Amino acid sequence: MSNSIIVTKNLRKTFITKAKGKKQSVEAVKGINLEIGKGEIFGFLGPNGAGKSTTQKMLATLLLPSAGEARVNGYDLSTQQQDIRRCIGYVSQSGGTDSLSTGLENLVLQAQLYGLDGVTAAKRAEEFIDRFQMTSFAERRALSYSGGQRRRLDLALGMIHHPDVLLLDEPTVGLDPQSRAYLWREIRHLRDEGITVLLTTHYLDEADKLCDTVAIIDNGEIVAAGTPSQLKDDIGADSLVFGFASEQTAQQAQALLVDRAPAENTQVEDHLLRLRLSRGEQALPALLRLLDTQHLPVLSISLAKPSLDDVFLKHTGRSLREDQAHG
Amino acid sequence: MDKMKTLRETGLMFRRSMQHTLRNPIWVFLNLFQPLLYLFLFMPLLKSLGGVPGLPAGKTVQVFIPGLLVMLALFGSAFVGFGLVDEIRTGVIERFLVTPAHRSAILLGRLLKDVVVLLVQCLLITVCALPFGLGVNLGGFLISLLLYALIAIAMASMSYAFALLFKSEDTLASTLNTIALPVSLLSGIMLPLALAPLWLRDLARVNPFSYGVNASRALFAGNIHNGDVIKGFIIVILLAGITFWSAIRSLRKMAA
């Protein structure tokens, strides 16, 4: 508890919208409880409209919570907003780069707005230009930047005042693989410096590989939270697919395995047999021997560990991948 | 202490806006195009009207230019909200709101730039009107610049307030056009309201900017200690205060 830098209790946000003269209330965030440790990379994983950004905006002092309380770095969100602003950095999805100014001008002004004098601000801007390898374009106006260059400037703007907490809204959306890898390295680097990062993402691999803790959020509520491996272990079973020569063989194999092996949720699809079982890599050799002795030759095998998508599916009944395909 | 901080932040925001303007100075002059057209293509029409009520013969330029400058202050500032909508959309304003900078500084810096641009434009128009026989009372002229600055602050604040409210160029454009046209027609900018039928004059009395135009004409005539001037200033100051306050309110409430 004493190690937590962000704590929220029952944080809520209800938007009142007027449609055709009728007032409608939309519950965007329905009571979120968080305890985020210092120096952690904490990820909100969820589809668009799940309430990730709204929660983050409340913590960034951009939105007033409708109910509940929150502390950031020990400061109360409802009464000590100015103190919170001094110790957080926020990078929105759109970034907030002033495209009519140069990268250098953007950085210097941002530093000055945090109270640094002109000379110190210029020095600080140079440090960040070096650190984020922006020397070749820092003196150009930002409207000429590529997506990756702009994102680096966005990140530098959010960090110029050395915040304790950095809030990143969908930091790698629309970036090419190199820029993405670069940003991930930088974010890990921040954790090494003891900076707490709270990011939102709808990318499964980003939540899985980058975040120390993931909270899966859907419909304004956290449906599951933990380290990525904890979450996947909760699913337990791996997913195994055998390919056979025909549907008939697949069905025979299904009957055999249900009878003689610890397989769950078996399912025949055409000539494929799908099943779930725990510690698949250890169970597999015995299953193969069993099928072989019964003259049911296996033509192909695929074994997959549970993914965060399986976790999402388990808790919401939907796949995050499908959501992405439709969104 | 807090005031010094806000003042410094206003200066920083002003410098940023001014840099943008100076990098694209073409806009300062494009805004001048319309008033210059009025000066060269419309004012000559008035000459032959000289002698009707409110337009003393041979002094049409003396009546027309003070009105034209108010029009410049009105229309030059009415559309500044578009730049703000763009910066709301690209997240620039949100980024400023997350910093500890004072909310009013974000708007004050922009307003200050709007005022500087307007004053430069007013000087240019006045200089262009000198060959047409415009007589300038220096004291009156300097005070009138203050009046135009206040009108610009009122109009620009209104534009910013709507920009923060609608966050959309389309809605902003139609709203501003709907307001700007009747406001200018009912202020006696083109022709003095002395020519108007009584009902129209009564209608103009509701328009705060018509008092600005009266004050502007009095000041150009050198009547500094004139009731119209005092009335004009009081009304314009009140209007600027109200619109600025509502713009700040919209900024605070932008996301909440």
Q: Give the ipTM.
A: 0.89
Q: Which residue of B has its CA nearest to A82?
A: B100
Pairing of strands A196-201, A165-169: parallel
Percent of chain A with pLDDT over 70: 97
Pairing of strands A238-243, A300-304: antiparallel
Averaged confidence pLDDT in chain A:
90
Cβ pair A93:B91 closer than 8 A: yes
Cβ pair A62:B94 closer than 8 A: yes
pTM of the model: 0.87
What's the mean pLDDT in B168-189? 89
CA distance B43 to chain A (A): 38
Give contacts of B19 with chain A, Cβ < 8 Å: 100-101, 105
Pairing of strands A165-169, A88-91: parallel
- Report A:162-221 residues touching B (Cβ under 8 A): none
pLDDT of B49 = 79
Give contacts of B100 with chain A, Cβ < 8 Å: 82, 85-86, 113-115
Substitution target in B87, B88, B92, B251 with the highest count of A β-carbons within 10 Å is B92
What's the mean pLDDT in B44-59? 79
Angle at A47 between CA A46 and CA A49, to 5 degrees: 110
Cα dist from A157 to A43, A119, A124, A168, A180, whole Å? 21, 17, 11, 12, 18
CA distance A323 to chain B (A): 25
CA distance A184 to chain B (A): 22
User: DSSP per residue over A214-251, as a string?
Assistant: EEEEETTEEEEEE-HHHHHHHH--EEEEEE-SSHHHHH
| Residues A255, B183: Cα–Cα separation, whole Å | 85
pLDDT of A71 = 96
- Split at pLDDT 50, 70, 90, the class of A107 is very high
| Residues A166, A91: Cα–Cα separation, whole Å | 8
Cβ pair B99:A114 closer than 8 A: yes
Cβ pair B96:A113 closer than 8 A: yes
A:B CB pairs within 8 Å: 67
pLDDT of A327 = 38
Cβ pair B91:A86 closer than 8 A: no
Beta strands in A73-121 (DSSP E): 75-76, 88-91
Substitution target in B2, B99, B102 with the highest count of A β-carbons within 10 Å is B99
In 3D space, the residue among B172, B196, B176 whose CA is nearest the CA of residue B186 turns out to be: B196
DSSP letter for A5, please.
E
Yes or no: say if A60 and A87 are a contact pair by the CB < 8 Å rule.
Answer: no
pLDDT of B104 = 94
A122 touches chain B (CB under 8 A): no
Cα dist from A87 to A73, A193, B94, whole Å? 8, 15, 16
A263-272, B125-134, B216-225 — which is least confidently predicted?
Answer: A263-272
pLDDT above 70 for A322: no
B127, HSE (Cβ side, Cα atoms, 13 Å) = 7
In 3D space, the residue among A61, A111, A65, A63 whose CA is nearest the CA of residue A88 turns out to be: A61
Give contacts of A100 with chain B, Cβ < 8 Å: 19-20, 23
Q: Can you give chain B as a three-state secondary structure string?
A: CHHHHHHHHHHHHHHHHHHHHHHCCHHHHHHHHHHHHHHHHHHHHHHCCECECCCCCCCHHHHHHHHHHHHHHHHHHHCCHHHHHHHHHCCHHHHHHHCCCCHHHHHHHHHHHHHHHHHHHHHHHHHHHHHHCCCCCHHHHHHHHHHHHHHHHHHHHHHHHHHHHHCCHHHHHHHHHHHHHHHHHCCCCCCCHHHCCHHHHHHHHHCHHHHHHHHHHHHHCCCCCCHHHHHHHHHHHHHHHHHHHHHHHHHHHCCC
Beta bridge partners of A14: A27
| Four-residue CA torsion sign, B159, B161, B162, B168 | positive
Q: What are the pLDDT digits (tens) for B56-105?
A: 877 888 889 999 999 999 988 999 999 999 999 999 999 999 999 999 99
Cβ pair A96:B256 closer than 8 A: no
DSSP letter for A109, please.
H
Yes or no: say if A94 and A158 are a contact pair by the CB < 8 Å rule.
Answer: no
| Residues A196, A202: Cα–Cα separation, whole Å | 20
Nearest to A109 among B16, B255, B256 (CB): B16
| Residues A317, B81: Cα–Cα separation, whole Å | 46
What's the mean pLDDT in A74-101? 95
B26 touches chain A (CB under 8 A): no
pLDDT of A323 = 55
- Report B:101-120 residues touching A (Cβ under 8 A): 101
| Residues A56, A45: Cα–Cα separation, whole Å | 12
Q: How many residues in chain A?
A: 327
Higher pLDDT, A179 or A234: A179
- Split at pLDDT 50, 70, 90, the class of A326 is very low
Nearest to B98 among A62, A94, A100 (CB): A62
pLDDT of A316 = 85
* AA letter at A110: Q
| Residues B49, B195: Cα–Cα separation, whole Å | 11
3-class SS of residue A134: coil
Cβ pair A61:B98 closer than 8 A: yes
Give contacts of A96 with chain B, Cβ < 8 Å: 90-92, 94-95
φ and ψ at B115, to 5 degrees?
-65, -45
Chain centroid to CA A257 = 38
- Split at pLDDT 50, 70, 90, the class of B173 is very high
B87 touches chain A (CB under 8 A): yes
A62 touches chain B (CB under 8 A): yes
Substitution target in B24, B27, B95 with the highest count of A β-carbons within 10 Å is B95
A79 touches chain B (CB under 8 A): no
Cβ pair A96:B90 closer than 8 A: yes
Give contacts of B89 with chain A, Cβ < 8 Å: 94
**Residues in contact with B181: Cβ distance below 8 Å, sequence separation at least 6, in sequence order:** none
DSSP letter for A102, please.
B
B205 touches chain A (CB under 8 A): no
Give contacts of B20 with chain A, Cβ < 8 Å: 100-101
A99 touches chain B (CB under 8 A): yes
Q: What are the pLDDT digits (tens) for B234-247?
A: 999 999 999 999 99
pLDDT of A324 = 54
Cβ pair B100:A64 closer than 8 A: no
